[in-house]
Structure 1
């Protein structure tokens, strides 16, 4: 039975790109076992909630299973830490604790819009040569038919997903892309209020329309109107791994396919995404591209090798060792309770 005696919270500034932030939570129980969690690009209220409320809710409290804790203050970082602690105490991988059955996952790699078609095809070629059998291309009005045609002609057998990033208003423009056999059409229109357009598009195309939701209610509404045939799960958006399992089960019951994706961060959030993607309904390629090595705190690193992501099954919990020295070096602020 876990019983937390110490809570540590770290705010990290990551050394890449626009220097994003990440917040880590470390829980320690009375036997010395630890559990870790992460939230990437946290909202402004996340830090004060974790510092002021989480310790009051968890320290000294007996619990048998993370589901008993309900909505934990601090969202996905705290929830992940509880699951990691619970799984480590029982000596089971987090993937198995969630009900996952996969030992490896097909990965996708995201390809942003490029300067020209030759450059785009060259980038895709590098990933194909690295072993990827699936890519996800960003498309938007003015950059869609021609780049998709160029990649499809160069690689007839390649799996190609399209991420429209809610940029479209015209169903017809997206319908034309279906002629090039995309594996999915992701986030075609802005929501809420756009489910009718999603349903219209799904009726017109063979490719599954891939929707992202933040609750079971949103999934139920989308299923009811036939707004898609595939679900994108981002564990952080659902707030808890319990929520991940519920929307997974709802999508499977509706006959939808599922893909998983997660923020880069330090590798911890990606590790939780890998565990979620091991669930039996997650049959679409997952997006767990390796975070920059300068930011990683986990060993082994989280990422794809030859287009495949291994699900860690030889260690309990998240399945990765944490470089605590590196955590402290990257932290710009910390709190202990």
Structure 2
């Protein structure tokens, strides 16, 4: 792919409703939109999904900007990349910084799919024309959680994830189960527990959860294996899995029965697909997690979720779940619990430049 230039667009937008976990509350979402422009004038788009502060991983919007400007874009300028997977190999000389790498790698996938005149989902090997949608509830009160769940079920969502911690787990899940005994329900702990909380977590087995996501340390694999042996509820690993090697190690010691695959967390669509393929062989269930993204990243997630192994509804909520107006056209919508997989070339959505310009905080271009 002969690349003419790379453009970075910093945007900032308020969430319609603040998103709360035990680690903090997100009210405004920053992001970086990446446009890779070929010599033929075709553009591919990606999105840096790190948060403004390092509460989820060590990466932030500012570290992504630094890596893109000072390392990743200069690397790209010195190479001819004929396939997006070559970008992954090129970036391997830089340790971690997976979200920065993913942002430009995913733009290459979009560009490559457009040049092949093929939907990104099909290029990745996806077979579905629609994917089941799940939603995340992150609030400060049980009453507000129940109200949100009621609203989302009315809108067709088929799976709900709630945030838990040692001070807010049993009562929250008990209230939800009393109101919705057959709901596909999962709980995300964001590393709030330790092995000392094993008995407390065992009590949650009674709620028939799809999974408990990342209950222990954000970088742990070993102790999760110990905990999984004590629980009937499947453990899902999220933050611990940033590479295919991590997935192999987790499978080797049976640390989990489910893995949440976020393209941004693992370095892009190429690595995400490899983890998906490995998990299918190992009998580990997978689903696509969300990062409170804007529409470009969410479009990439839809394409990834069209792969056959993604049997659990992902965090693929409607654009209107978070934004008064998204940065893509048409906006993503959930119909009867499903999101349609676009059949247009690339990510299948146009950019809403009016909205991008309204939320723009910086713009930079790098001529290659």
TM-score, shorter chain, exceeding 0.5: yes
> Which of 168, 193, 199 is matched with 2:225 structurally?
199
Shift of 1:54: 4.5
Shift of 1:68: 2.1
User: What does residue range 101-112 of structure 1 map to in structure 2 within 5 Å?
Assistant: 101-112=127-138
TM-score, with structure 2 as normaliser:
0.83
Which segment is superposed worse, 282-291 or 85-94?
A: 282-291
Q: Matched residue of 1:5: which SS? A: strand
Q: Matched residue of 1:44: which SS? A: helix
Given that 2:48 and 2:61 are in contact with CA atoms closer than 8 Å, whether structure 1 keeps it comes out as no
Counterparts of 1:203 and 1:52 in 2: how far apart (Å)? 45
Q: Matched residue of 2:115: which SS? A: helix
Shift of 1:43: 3.9
Please give the per-residue CA displacement for 1:289-337, whole angstroms capped at 9, x wherever unaligned: 234334511012134333322221x211111001234323322221122
TM-score, with structure 1 as normaliser:
0.91
- Please provide the CA RMSD for this pair: 2.2
1:159 aligns with 2:202: no
Q: Matched residue of 2:62: which SS? A: coil
User: What runs of 5+ residues in structure 1 fail to find an aligned partner?
Assistant: none
Given that 2:158 and 2:313 are in contact with CA atoms closer than 8 Å, whether structure 1 keeps it comes out as no
Q: Matched residue of 2:191: which SS? A: coil
Please give the per-residue CA displacement for 1:143-175, whole angstroms capped at 9, x wherever unaligned: 222222222222222111111221122111111
Q: Matched residue of 2:206: which SS? A: helix
Which segment is superposed worse, 87-96 or 65-74?
A: 65-74
Please give the per-residue CA displacement for 1:11-49, whole angstroms capped at 9, x wherever unaligned: 122244543321111122122211111102344232233
Counterparts of 2:149 and 2:72 in 1: how far apart (Å)? 44
Given that 1:171 and 1:200 are in contact with CA atoms closer than 8 Å, whether structure 2 keeps it comes out as no
Please give the per-residue CA displacement for 1:236-294, whole angstroms capped at 9, x wherever unaligned: 11112111111112211211000111223321111111111112111111012234334
Given that 1:51 and 1:335 are in contact with CA atoms closer than 8 Å, whether structure 2 keeps it comes out as no
Count of aligned positions: 333
> Which of 32, 35, 45 is matched with 1:26 structurally?
35
What is the match of residue 263 of structure 2? 235
Q: Matched residue of 2:161: which SS? A: strand
What is the match of residue 248 of structure 1? 276
1:6 aligns with 2:5: yes
User: What runs of 5+ residues in structure 2 fail to find an aligned partner?
Assistant: 19-26, 52-59, 95-99
Shift of 1:81: 0.9
Shift of 1:53: 4.4
Which segment is superposed worse, 142-151 or 46-55?
A: 46-55
